[in-house]
Every structure is written in C-alpha cells, then in structure tokens.
C-alpha cells in the first residue's frame, strides 16, 4: 500500500498565492468588466533587459551549431556564472567566496524549501512571523512540527513576532532553536535588517551552534550601501550561515528561473554522536543527485545581468520598481494610511484601516478598488491586520491604483 506522508495533512489551506489566484479568478468571472490592478504576488512585469536577451540569443544560436552545442552542464553551475557572482555580488562587498561554495539553481523558492532535507528531522526551527510561507510549509511537510493551532501556528515551530516595535526585524530567541530562517530585505513586510540586527543573529548562532538560513532574494532593492546585502559581511557568518540569492526580482527572471545558494566550507552540522559534518558536502551530494544544472542559455543570461550593460539595465529596472514603491508609500501615507516598508524592498506593508482583518481588507480592495493585494495573515498570525502591496507593476497602473485605494478607505 502506498501510504502518504501524513505531515502534508497538517497544512490547512492551499499555498497562499494559488489561493489568492482562485479568489481573484472568481471575482473576475463574476465581474468581467472590472479593470483589475494586480499588486498581489511579487511578480515582475518589465520585459527582460536587452543585454540579457542578447546573451540568451547568442547562447541559443551557439546550441544550434556543433562547436557551441553542450549537453549536461556542471551541476553547481558554469564557471563563467560562478565567477561573475563571486566578483559582482560578493567581492564588491568585501566578501571572498570560492566557486565551489556557490550552487546555481532554478530558484530560491526551491532552495529555501529544499535546504531542510540535509538537516535532522528533529531540528527545531525558528521563523519570523509574518514569514515567506515556504520556510514553514516545507518543514511541516518534513515532519518538524505538530499540528497547527486556530491561528495557523504549528506546534514545535518557534515564531518570532515581527512587529512595529522591533522594526519588523526580530532578534534571536531565548529558547533552544537549531535553525533560524531570516529574510532581508523582508518578504512580506518590506523591512530591512540593520548591521546590528545581523550581528546579533550571527553572535547568537555561533554561541548556540545554530544555523542561519539567510534569504537575500531582494538584496538588489537595498538603497543604502551602508546596509549589509550579504550575511557574510558580518564577521563569523561563514561558520553559521547559508545564503540564498535570486535573479527573479533583480533581473526579471521569475519566468526564466535562476538563483543560487552559498554554503561556505567552514559551515558544519553535527551527527547524533557529535561528529561534525560539512554542510557544503551534504548539499553538493543532494544537488548532484537531484539536479542537473540550470540551462546554459539561462546561466548565460544570468551572467549578462551581473556585468556591464546588463547590470546597468537591470539596475534601472530595480530603480523603476522602487520608484513605484515610493509613489505607493507617499500616495497612501498622504491619505493618512499607516504603512511600512517600501524603502529598501518592493513591498509596502499596509496597516489595515478601521481594524479590518487582512482578508476583509483584501476583499474590500478587490471589490471596491479592483486592486489585488496580499492579506498579511496569509504570511502568519502576526500578519493579521496588514496587507502587502507589491510595487511590481507598470508606473501607469501603480498611479491608477493609488487613488483607487485611497477612495476605498478614505473616500
């Protein structure tokens, strides 16, 4: 008999974004004339940068002739991309990595969901609340939790409330935890970790022999160069942290798919008998077993986004979305709405007016403003009372959305 993994049954609702998609599709079919503005899922809208397209085109052409054709690529990524990553994303920030500490993949969603496979089933995890749902759901699927309570918090998982009081960037917990997931710039709150916050986490992890999983998928949106972009800018992080980065948002690759995970050689975990084992080797074993490399064409495109004209063009795209974020922040704040984020991230964390619940606010914006947002409670119990508004859309649509949102609440 094929028994199922019953841990899946603990996951009460469907994954957040398909769930929202269903509600929006139902609304659209009942109101076919409604002009919906989608500021829900953080999906890019600008086309690929010309230099990126050119790199892809050249790679496709190369595949069509004998000299340029390639079969399976190296599982960890081609050297040309690994070197561009080392040079542009890390050396420019004073961080030295080796090529074999970088694992190119097809997405940070996958990486942040899969990383727990190399860790013990009895590890206790901590997440911020609200949180990118992938970290929690994948650990629930793997059996690292009990059942969910009425608010959707899973027994056995440590939730660290991200609140206005702590700038939506909680510090380390007191209770024992083996693995903590951090995300900066943060999805969903749009907050960014200060150097002091990351130093506190690294010091805590080293003292407790804990592991930090640092998701920096939105690093390119940081506007202040004094803020850390990489956890490895913090001394000692190589001994306690894994970092994930993505080309999805910074180069418009949500449909192209390319990301990478960094696992320094110093990083180790322990066996039940106390022997230390390097995590780099374990992840390499998993990666080579389960993954056959990102397509060459995509890696060429990713490398083009990191250097020269491609870097400049992708930087302009990030600036475009950040100008949207600024317009949203200013336009909504002017109307007296309370909001956070949007300064170093493409997300605005809007406090729901009049004590509305997150889902009621989502429904109100959908019905009255024909604007799609994401209910904060979908990211965790502490997200209740907020909605997330994404800056990923055209300037024109963002400018149309602002008065609609204002009218829905203040009109």
Looking at the Cβ atoms of 78 and 347, the one nearer to ligand MLT is: 347
Looking at the Cβ atoms of 51 and 322, the one nearer to ligand MLT is: 322
Looking at the Cβ atoms of 42 and 185, the one nearer to ligand MLT is: 42
Report the DSSP pairing between strands 386-390 and 241-246.
unpaired
Residues numbered 73-112 forming contacts with ligand MLT, rule: CB under 6 A: 109
* CA distance linking residue 379 with residue 7, whole number of Å: 20
Contacts of 52 (CB under 8 A, 6+ apart): 251, 252, 301, 304, 305, 310, 313, 314
**Should residue 43 be labelled a site residue for ligand MLT when binding is judged by CB under 6 A?**
yes
CB of 245 to ligand MLT, least distance (A): 12
Looking at the Cβ atoms of 18 and 47, the one nearer to ligand MLT is: 18
Looking at the Cβ atoms of 20 and 234, the one nearer to ligand MLT is: 20
Q: Which residue number has the CB closest to ligand MLT?
A: 42
Choose which of 11, 24, 36, 41 interacts with ligand MLT (CB under 6 A). 41
Looking at the Cβ atoms of 86 and 249, the one nearer to ligand MLT is: 249
CB of 91 to ligand MLT, least distance (A): 27
Strands (DSSP E) contained in 60-189 are 102-105, 125-129, 158-161, 179-183
CB of 396 to ligand MLT, least distance (A): 21
CB of 347 to ligand MLT, least distance (A): 8
CB of 209 to ligand MLT, least distance (A): 30
Number of neighbouring beta carbons within 10 Å of residue 405: 26
Residues 406/364, Cβ–Cβ less than 8 Å: no
Looking at the Cβ atoms of 101 and 215, the one nearer to ligand MLT is: 215
Stretch that binds ligand MLT, among 38-46, 66-74, 197-205, 268-276 (CB under 6 A): 38-46
Q: How many CA atoms lie within 13 A of 227 on its CB side?
A: 19
DSSP character at residue 69: -
What phi-psi label fits residue 175: left (phi over 0), alpha (psi between -120 and 50 degrees) or beta?
beta
Looking at the Cβ atoms of 41 and 351, the one nearer to ligand MLT is: 41
Stretch that binds ligand MLT, among 41-49, 116-124, 218-226, 272-280 (CB under 6 A): 41-49
> What's the Cα-to-Cα distance from 222 to each of 46, 294, 359, rounded to whole Å?
19, 27, 29
**Should residue 383 be labelled a site residue for ligand MLT when binding is judged by CB under 6 A?**
no
**Should residue 284 be labelled a site residue for ligand MLT when binding is judged by CB under 6 A?**
no
Residues 365/38, Cβ–Cβ less than 8 Å: no
Residues numbered 104-163 forming contacts with ligand MLT, rule: CB under 6 A: 109
Query: 3-state DSSP helix/strand/coil percent for the chain, to nearest 5?
Result: 45, 15, 40
Choose which of 145, 187, 189, 299 interacts with ligand MLT (CB under 6 A). 187
Interface with ligand MLT: number of residues (CB under 6 A): 5
Stretch that binds ligand MLT, among 35-43, 67-75, 168-176, 330-338 (CB under 6 A): 35-43
Q: What's the length of the chain? A: 411
Looking at the Cβ atoms of 177 and 183, the one nearer to ligand MLT is: 183
Stretch that binds ligand MLT, among 36-44, 68-76, 226-234, 263-271 (CB under 6 A): 36-44
Number of neighbouring beta carbons within 10 Å of residue 395: 12
Strands (DSSP E) contained in 168-246 are 179-183, 211-215, 241-246
Choose which of 20, 37, 38, 42 interacts with ligand MLT (CB under 6 A). 42
Give start and end residues of each alpha helix (H) in 272-394: 279-290, 296-306, 308-334, 358-364
* CA distance linking residue 279 with residue 281, whole number of Å: 5
Contacts of 4 (CB under 8 A, 6+ apart): none
Task: Summarize as ranges the residues that interact with ligand MLT (CB under 6 A).
Answer: 41-43, 109, 187
């Amino acid at each position: 008999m094929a028994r199922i993994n019953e841990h899946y049954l603990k996951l009460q609702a469907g994954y957040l974004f398909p769930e929202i998609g269903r509600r929006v599709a139902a609304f659209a079919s009942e109101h076919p004339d409604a002009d919906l503005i989608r500021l829900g899922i953080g999906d890019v809208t600008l086309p690929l940068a010309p230099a990126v397209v050119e790199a892809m085109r050249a790679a496709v052409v190369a595949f069509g002739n004998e000299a340029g054709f390639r079969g399976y690529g190296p599982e960890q990524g081609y050297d040309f991309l690994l070197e561009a990553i080392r040079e542009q994303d890390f050396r420019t920030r004073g961080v030295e990595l080796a090529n074999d500490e970088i694992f190119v993949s097809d997405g940070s969603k996958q990486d942040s969901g899969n990383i727990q496979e190399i860790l013990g089933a009895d590890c206790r995890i901590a997440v911020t609340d609200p949180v990118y749902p992938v970290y929690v759901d994948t650990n629930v699927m793997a059996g690292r939790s009990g059942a969910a309570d009425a608010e959707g918090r899973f027994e056995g998982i440590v939730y660290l409330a991200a609140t206005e009081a702590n700038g939506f960037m909680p510090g380390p917990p007191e209770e024992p935890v083996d693995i903590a997931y951090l995300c900066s710039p943060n999805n969903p709150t749009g907050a960014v970790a200060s150097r002091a916050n990351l130093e506190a986490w690294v010091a805590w992890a080293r003292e407790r022999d804990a592991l930090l999983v640092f998701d920096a998928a939105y690093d390119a949106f940081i506007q202040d160069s004094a803020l850390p972009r990489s956890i490895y800018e913090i001394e000692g992080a190589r001994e306690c942290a894994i970092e994930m980065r993505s080309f999805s948002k910074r180069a418009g690759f949500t449909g192209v798919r390319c990301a990478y995970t960094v696992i320094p050689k110093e990083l180790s975990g322990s066996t039940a008998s106390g022997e230390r084992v390097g995590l780099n080797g374990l992840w390499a074993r998993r990666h080579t077993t389960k993954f056959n490399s990102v397509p060459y064409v995509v890696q060429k495109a990713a490398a083009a986004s990191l250097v020269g004209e491609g870097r400049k063009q992708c930087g302009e795209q990030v600036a475009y979305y950040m100008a949207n974020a600024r317009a949203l922040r200013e336009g909504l704040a002017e109307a007296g709405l309370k909001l956070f984020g949007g300064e170093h991230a493409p997300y605005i964390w809007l406090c729901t007016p009049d004590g509305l619940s997150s889902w009621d606010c989502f429904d109100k914006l959908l019905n009255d403003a024909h604007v799609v947002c994401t209910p904060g409670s979908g990211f965790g119990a502490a997200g209740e009372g907020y909605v997330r508004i994404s800056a990923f859309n055209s300037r024109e649509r963002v400018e149309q959305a602002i008065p609609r949102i204002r009218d829905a609440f203040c009109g």
